[in-house]
Structure 1
């Protein structure tokens, strides 16, 4: 027996879902105390609409998403300026809504219509949205959500390039040392992605901003915070030794001040930092075109350096290779020292 008056509600179409999201987000604004109740209702509507968006984009566990609907929803969200609303209203959203938004964000950015990433294209035309997301690291309530969204954006070269060259990029040097550990770690993950995901873009950026960048980076390497020192040293090794950055590395290893930083880190109380420092220090020493100033520093400090290196070791499968490298570097330091003595 059927009951026609109990008909199931018709699923919303992508344009209807988009309109519902837009209307509920715009209703979140509170201008007077009397609007508090309507704000609470709007928040419930936002959460309900975000669940509908999530189901349309990734299915509900029983029914797989419809590819055409996913593409149409991405188009509608771009066309109706909902992307801007999603970002700007993020601070006003509740936990569940933020979680759903982060889940949907990565799916939306990946949608291609006629070989165009429509949501990415929207952000390309509104790049200030990226600056807004970066600035949100100052709000610990939403920092981790914004970090997730930024890392999805960084996967696209045009968006990563803007972030590198934006004035907002320098904020990361502050954010990676924020007192809240989770936020600082998340900011470092985003910072790392910016410096490692697109080698050619990073090389171009470092070439154009060499002095400014490494002046700020030096503060991370000499930070009083152990985690900052360790992470920034490992990251430096990661991006300096990338093939696209070979010219940057060649320039870096000619500078006495950077050699001195590595020598200081070789004396760090942490063995992990010592070993990471060694992998950059060895490039200074192995450089066949060492400037005279570098040779003098190595010669003056050769006894202390040799003692430090003799006492440095690693455990595990890398031990043999590490010991071989270390012996080569020790021999080179001793050779430089002898040659400097002869010159005197």
Structure 2
């Protein structure tokens, strides 16, 4: 059976306008008809949409038709229906919907990204998706949808500066490991995809952000503590974040957090903490409060550093550790 024959048998409408109208009507019917019947119609239509815009693995989709469908989906507010009805859908149709979402957001029509612009004009949809992390059934779906949105700097900027962003500090500690990990992936994307956006955000929300982040570093949850420390050690040492790092390493409160993490029972956490701690010590312009904190804890720090676990053959870490020990010993 040919691809186009299968399309015709599964979806009667032939024009993009008819295709999208059928999809829209089935979503609207979720709240007006027998729920089981309405869900069946939605599932059939979303499955057909997936085939139309991504093909079946044998035949490529008609790109002109994909672009026309994308325009109609934006024009008819179907993007909003996708998001708002996500909690009402079953596992299979949610999977197909997320697949369609990712394809639609990448479609460039007349030099612009239609679906991106639609979301830019309906930013409440992003807040809705962030809030969906609280729903175990759809959390992973919304995470995939959010990460596709975050690829656009204006959408990432909105989430960072909205009240929704603070929810991620709760989500990364959720008891469900898969959801917490997914939330962390979205959190990382927000802080790494767009350097200028992130620099501006942290420049104006520095204290608020690091107060919340410090709680993750002190979490009783080992996984949270480890992942937070690992990400911080990578994030601060990236060249685009040098100004944030310079601000971070002159504050005694953050030095004390690193000292506490050097005592952690986890080898991995101790090593990650060392990579941030060493920057406090190596800073040639250490303020006096930092020097005094290092002197006050010198004996304990030297013991911790001598006992810092290293892997066989990790000569670079051994060299860095020896240099930091020497610098601490020379402090006066």
TM score, norm. by length of structure 2: 0.95
Deviation at residue 11 of structure 1 after TM alignment: 6.4
1:15 aligns with 2:10: no
**What is the RMSD of the two structures over their aligned residues, measured on CA atoms?**
1.3
Partner of 1:67: 63
Once residues 266 and 309 of structure 2 are traced to their aligned partners in structure 1, the CA distance between those partners, rounded to angstroms, is: 12
2:55, 2:61 within 8 Å by CA — same for their partners in 1? yes
2:324 corresponds in structure 1 to 329
**What is the aligned partner in structure 1 of residue 5 from structure 2?**
none
2:322 aligned with 1:320: no
* Partner residue, 2:228: 232
Counterpart pick for 1:88 among 84, 98, 103: 84
- Given that 2:13 and 2:22 are in contact with CA atoms closer than 8 Å, whether structure 1 keeps it comes out as no
Native 8 Å contact 2:262 2:304 kept in 1: yes
Q: In structure 2, how many angstroms separate the alpha carbons of the residues matched to 1:108 and 1:316?
A: 49
- Look up the match of 2:156: 160
CA distance in 2 between counterparts of 1:11 and 1:143 reads: 32
Query: Structure 1 residues 106-115 or 306-315, which shifts more?
Result: 306-315
Aligned residue pairs, count: 323
> Is the aligned partner of 1:206 residue 2:165?
no
Rounded to whole Å, the distance in 1 between the matches of 2:233 and 2:71 is: 41
Q: State whether residues 221 and 228 of structure 1, in contact with CA within 8 Å, keep that contact through their aligned partners in structure 2.
A: yes
The whole-number CA distance in structure 2 between the counterparts of 1:107 and 1:314 is: 45
Residue 247 (structure 2) pairs with residue 245 (structure 1): no
Give CA-to-partner distance per residue, 1:246-296, whole Å, 9 cap, x none: 111111101001000000000000000000000000000000011111111
Structure 1: unaligned runs, 5 residues or longer: 1-7, 340-344
Q: Encode CA deviations 1:69-97: one digit per residue, 9 max, x unaligned.
A: 11111111111100000000000011111
Distance between the aligned counterparts of 2:323 and 2:183, measured in 1? 37
In the TM superposition, residue 316 of structure 1 has moved relative to its aligned partner by: 5.5
Partners of 2:187 and 2:250 lie apart in 1 by 25
Q: Distance in 1 between matches of 2:158 and 2:303?
A: 46
Bigger Rg, which one: 1
Q: CA deviation at 1:242?
A: 2.3
- DSSP 3-state at the match of 2:328: helix
Please give the secondary structure, in 1, of the residue aligned with 2:286: coil
Map of 1:3 onto structure 2: none
1:161 CA drift (Å): 0.7
Question: SS at the partner of 1:313?
Answer: coil
CA deviation after TM superposition for structure 1 residue 243, in Å: 2.2
Q: Which consecutive residues of structure 2, in runs of 5 or more, have no partner in the other structure? A: 1-7
Instruction: Give 1:52-201 correspondences, 5 Å limit.
Output: 52-201=48-197
1:139 offset after TM fit, Å? 0.7
Bigger drift between 236-245 and 304-313 goes to 236-245
2:276 matched to 1:274? no
TM value normalised by structure 1: 0.91
User: What residue in structure 2 maps to residue 261 of structure 1?
Assistant: 257
SS of aligned partner of 1:303: helix
Q: Aligned partners of 1:314 and 1:192: how far apart in 2?
A: 27
